[in-house]
Amino acid sequence: VVLQNCHLMPSWLNTLEKFVYDLKNNKSKKIDKNFRLWLTTDPTTSFPIGILQSSLKVVTEPPDGLKLNMRGSYSRVRGETLSSCPHPYF
């Protein structure tokens, strides 16, 4: 499960914190061993510390400047995908 842009709903983050706590600490319910919960967020002071403390964190920093940022984005797209685009201006 992926929940993106969690920073956009600060009023909901406390509910999410309780949900994550219940997932981690509820021994009566069996959770599939392959279950993963991915959260994405921008840096914010309203993100609950409980979620951060019980999570594995991965941080990515965008490259400085528009040119490097665009180059990074395009480097992750395969050439076949780009060449198959039917848009006349591409």
**Looking at residue 82, what is its pLDDT?**
73
**What phi and psi, each to the nearest 5 degrees, are found at residue 39?**
-120, 135
pTM > 0.95: yes or no: no
**Looking at residue 3, what is its pLDDT?**
92
Report the DSSP pairing between strands 38-39 and 2-3.
parallel
Cα(32)–Cα(16) distance, rounded to whole angstroms?
19
Q: Pick out the chain residues at pLDDT < 70.
A: 27-28, 62-63, 89-90
- If you search the block for the tokens 């480097």, which residue do you land on? 75
**Looking at residue 90, what is its pLDDT?**
60
CA atoms within 13 A of residue 86's CA, in its CB half-sphere: 0
